[in-house]
Amino acid sequence: MLTVYESQTEQGTSWTVVSPIVFTYKVTETRHLLDPSNDTLLLGHITDPQQLEDVKKSNMPIKRFVVVDQEVYKIYAPKLIEYLEANNVLYKILSLPTTEENKTITMALQILEEVHNFSLDRRSEPIIAIGGGVCLDIVGLAASLYRRRTPYIRVPTTLLSYIDASVGAKTGVNFANCKNKLGAYVPPAAAFLDLSFLQTVPRRHISNGLAEMLKMALMKHRGLFELLETHGPMLLDTKFQADNSCLQAASQATRIAIGTMLEELAPNLWEDDLNRLVDFGHLVSPSLEMKVLPFLLHGEAVNIDMSYMVYVSKESGLLTENEKQRIISCMVGLELPVWHEACTMELIQKALQERLKHSGGLVRMPLPVGLGGAVISNDTSCEILHKAFVKWREELSDGSSDSN
């Protein structure tokens, strides 16, 4: 409920506006999203039954602007075009190289130019983004800027975006050599998840996504950690595809990862509370990722950060040696890098100093406690950080430097 408070002072009158902003968005797992008989992509975002019925009865053609990652388009263009034409959609497809190096305001403006020329109805014709996390982030930012907020739909095609970028409210682009320095908190109208897209994803990108799953496991869910520890290599081999051997593990892992991610994100979409467990692995990794771009994928940089923080937890008395070894072994089993020569003590210290500027003067360091629990630490000493770094380097740098 909107409330306006008026007050009088010697300096004049002031009005305080208290306005709760409510967003509703759907995250839907579906199968065969590009099957012409499946109307989820076109109508699945509509929550009002009467509106849905009106759209279905209408003789007006559906109109959609679709942004697709260039590599995804090479694979799925025939199916996407067949889907749109079979459903009599007036469409424009914009295929772009949505890589981390191209994640800029320039690309967002390029999208907006095309959207403007296509002449969308900003209330009833959502922009559709199909691709990995970079694509979803750029399109989300562009949509949030166009006419001050145009609805958009996320269709993740990588494991990382499936369980991370697709389910939150963040949008953004890189700026001034800093990751996601420009952005907005504007959730999609809906996110549509189809695991079948993963069958064409390179093995390295499946591993990349497993890092974000492991993040949620270590922070919140021992069962998910044990599932990844036991079945992770098999999920990597099968790319989460639904054959009998991995159907249960794949659906369980994605469901738990998305559920735990939403548990953390939903009450804090605007990050008013800066104590965020989802920041595990994201204190040092943004600096590392930008420094070595394009040689580390996002999840790989996150995992290197997590690997170091596991050693910090061990030195802080939050993990046993056995738990530390189990976590590192799980990471290696998921084919994730656990160390990188560019992740120096100097880089770590600079990243943590930068963290202080944007976290209310506190480092707010999420650290694993056991397997599936966590604390937010603000008082980890420089001595512990250094001691952990030395052990981390000694134990993992021998032959473990990222070779991707």
Q: Which sequence positions are flagged as catalytic?
A: 170
Distance in angstroms (rounded) separating the CA atoms of residues 240 and 42: 25
Strand-pair partners of 178: 175
Distance in angstroms (rounded) separating the CA atoms of residues 61 and 116: 19
Q: Residue 56's CB: how many other CB atoms inside 10 A?
A: 10
Q: What does the DSSP assignment read for 129-193?
A: EEESHHHHHHHHHHHHHGGG---EEEEE-SHHIIIIITTSSEEEEEETTEEEEEEEE---SEEEE
3-state secondary structure of 382: helix
3-state secondary structure of 72: helix
DSSP code at position 281: T
Distance in angstroms (rounded) separating the CA atoms of residues 286 and 301: 8
Q: What does the DSSP assignment read for 249-279?
A: HHHHHHHHHHHHHHHHHGGGTT--S---GGG
What are the Cα distances from residue 174, in Å, to 36, 100, 102, 162, 183?
A: 36, 8, 9, 21, 9
H/E segment holding residue 45: none
What are the Cα distances from residue 157, in Å, to 73, 130, 206?
A: 11, 7, 11
What are the Cα distances from residue 404, in Å, to 35, 204, 215, 292?
A: 35, 9, 21, 11
